[in-house]
Structure 1
Amino acid sequence: MRIVILIPTYNEAPNIALLIKDVYRNIKKIKKHLFLLLIVDDKSPDGTGKIVSDLMKANKSLFLLSGKKAGLGKAMIRGYLYAINKLKADVVISNEADFAFDFKHLPDMIEKIEESVDVVVGSRHVGVGKTEGWTLTRRVNHWIANTFFGRWVAGVRVVYDKNGAFRAVRVKGVMDQINWKKLRVRGFAFFFYTIALYSEITDKFYEIPAIYTFRKKGESKVSFNRKYIKSYLTDCLEYAKLAFRIRLKKYRINI
C-alpha cells in the first residue's frame, strides 16, 4: 500500500525537524508498505516551511504543501486532496505536529487497515488511552466538544474519541466518496465532522488506545492564547453549528 502520513503545521519550527525524524524512525520498522510524508504548512511566519524544504533535499519521500492560513480544516482538506490525487495514497494517516500522539502506534493502525478496517482512530477513551498534562480548562473543553456536542447533540457514536487528529483512513471506498473540494469546515471541527461523514459510508471503525500528552514546545492553537483567541472562538462556534447540522441530517457526503 501507498501510505501518506499527513501533518498540518503552523508555527511549529521548534518541533518539525524532530517530528520528521521521529516519523522516519517509526516507519523504518514497517517493511512492506511505501510511506510518503506530507507536511501541510500554512506559510508559518516562524520558518516551519523553510525547515521542511531544507530536509526535503535528503528525503525523497518528504513533501511540502504550502498555502495561506485559512484554518486547520482547510489545511487538512488541501492535504487530503494532494495525498489522494497527487501522491496516489491508498491510506492517509494524519497526526498533529506537537508530539501529542506518539507515532509508535503506527504499526497497530496499519495492522487494522490490513484486516479490512476502514477508519482507525488513536483514542484517549479506550483501554489504556488517556490524556497527560492537561489543565482542568482543557479537560472541560474536550468534554464539551467530544461528549456534549459530539455524542449527545450530534449523536455520533461510532467511536468514543471523535476529535483526535491521529487516525488512518482508507482511500478507496471511503475517502474517495467525499467531495472534499466543497466541504465547508475551517477549524478543528474537521476531525469530528469527518467521523460523521465516514460513518455514513462505512461501519468498519476501530479505536486503538493512545496516550495524548500536552505539547512541550511551541504554542497551542486550541487555547485562550491572545494570539489565537479569535480563531479559537470562531472554531468553537463552528463546532457547535456542525453538531446540530449532523443531528438534523443537514449535510451530504457528495456535496
Structure 2
Amino acid sequence: MKAMVIIPTYNEAAALPTLLDRLLQFTPEFHLLVVDDNSPDGTGRLAAEYAARNETISILHRPGKLGLGTAYLDGFRHALAAGFDAIFEMDADHSHNPRHLPALLDALENGADMAIGSRYVNGVRVENWPFRRLLLSRFANIYVNLASGLPASLVTDATSGYRGYRREVLEAID
C-alpha cells in the first residue's frame, strides 16, 4: 500500500525537525505531508526546507490559522488526489510515536478499514497530562464504546488522533 502521513502544524518549529527525522528513520517508504497554517514561528519554512531535501516530504501552505479539522480534510483530499491507499494522521508535538506506524499500516494491509494508535493498549501511556484530561479521555472512550456497541477491547482509544485509514473509507465519507 502506498502510505502518506498527514501532519498538521501551527507553531511547531521546535518539534518538527525531530519528528520528521524520526519519521524518515522508522518509515522511509511513507510519504509525509505537512499541512501548515502559516505559522509565525517559521514552521512552514522549515517544512519546505525538508521537502526540498527529501522527495517523500511535501508541504501544503495554508493562508492562516484555519484549524486542525480542516487541516486534516485538506490533507485527506491531497492524499486521495495523489493516489495514496493508506492515509495516516498524527500530531507534530511528539505525542505519537512514529515507531508504531508500520504496525498501523500492517493492520490496514490485513483488511482493517481503520487502525488507531491507542494510548491505552498496555495500560495508561500518556505523559504530562493533568488527571482531569486523562479522566475525560477515559470517560469519552467508555461513552463511544457504549454508544457504538463496540467492545472496549476492540476500540481502546476512540479519542486518539493517531489513526490510519484505507482510502476507501475516506472516499466513502467525503
| TM-score, normalization by structure 1 | 0.62
Secondary structure of 2:148's match?
A: coil
Secondary structure of 1:64's match?
A: strand
User: 1:99 aligned to 2:108?
Assistant: no
User: 1:147 aligned to 2:153?
Assistant: no
Residue 52 of structure 1 contacts residue 64 of structure 1 at CA under 8 Å; is this kept in 2? yes
Secondary structure of 2:160's match?
A: coil
Q: 2:22 is matched by which residue type in structure 1?
A: D
- Give the Cα–Cα distance (whole angstroms) in 2 for the partners of residues 128 and 140 of structure 1: 14
Q: Residue 15 of structure 2 corresponds to which residue in structure 1?
A: 15
**What are the superposed Cα offsets for residues 161-207 of structure 1, whole Å, 9 maximum, x if unpaired?**
111111111002x111112xxxxxxxxxxxxxxxxxxxxxxxxxxxx
- Give the Cα–Cα distance (whole angstroms) in 2 for the partners of residues 126 and 19 of structure 1: 23
Summarize the alignment of residues 231-242 of structure 1 with structure 2, pairs less than 5 Å apart.
none
Q: Residue 52 of structure 2 corresponds to which residue in structure 1?
A: 57
Q: Residue 197 of structure 1 corresponds to which residue in structure 2?
A: none
Q: 1:44 to 1:12 in 2, by over 3 A?
A: same
- Give the Cα–Cα distance (whole angstroms) in 2 for the partners of residues 116 and 136 of structure 1: 36
Q: 1:119 is matched by which residue type in structure 2?
A: M
- Give the Cα–Cα distance (whole angstroms) in 2 for the partners of residues 77 and 101 of structure 1: 20
Summarize the alignment of residues 1-255 of structure 1 with structure 2, pairs less than 5 Å apart.
1-28=1-28, 34-67=29-62, 68-85=64-81, 87-128=82-123, 130-148=125-143, 150-151=144-145, 155-158=147-150, 159-172=155-168, 174-179=169-174
**What are the superposed Cα offsets for residues 136-155 of structure 1, whole Å, 9 maximum, x if unpaired?**
2322332354434x345xx1
- Give the Cα–Cα distance (whole angstroms) in 2 for the partners of residues 127 and 136 of structure 1: 18
Q: Residue 253 of structure 1 corresponds to which residue in structure 2?
A: none
- Give the Cα–Cα distance (whole angstroms) in 2 for the partners of residues 73 and 47 of structure 1: 21
How big is the shift at 1:76?
0.7
How big is the shift at 1:98?
0.9
When Rg is computed on C-alpha atoms for both structures, the one with the higher figure is 1
Residue 35 of structure 2 contacts residue 59 of structure 2 at CA under 8 Å; is this kept in 1? yes
Residue 4 of structure 2 contacts residue 84 of structure 2 at CA under 8 Å; is this kept in 1? yes
| TM-score, normalization by structure 2 | 0.88
RMSD of aligned residue pairs (Cα, Å): 1.8
- Give the Cα–Cα distance (whole angstroms) in 1 for the partners of residues 138 and 124 of structure 2: 15
Residue 86 of structure 2 contacts residue 105 of structure 2 at CA under 8 Å; is this kept in 1? no
- Give the Cα–Cα distance (whole angstroms) in 1 for the partners of residues 100 and 51 of structure 2: 24
Q: 1:9 is matched by which residue type in structure 2?
A: T
Residue 120 of structure 2 contacts residue 157 of structure 2 at CA under 8 Å; is this kept in 1? yes
Residue 10 of structure 1 contacts residue 44 of structure 1 at CA under 8 Å; is this kept in 2? yes
Q: 1:162 to 1:101 in 2, by over 3 A?
A: same
Q: 1:24 is matched by which residue type in structure 2?
A: L
Aligned residues: 169
Residue 2 of structure 2 contacts residue 86 of structure 2 at CA under 8 Å; is this kept in 1? yes
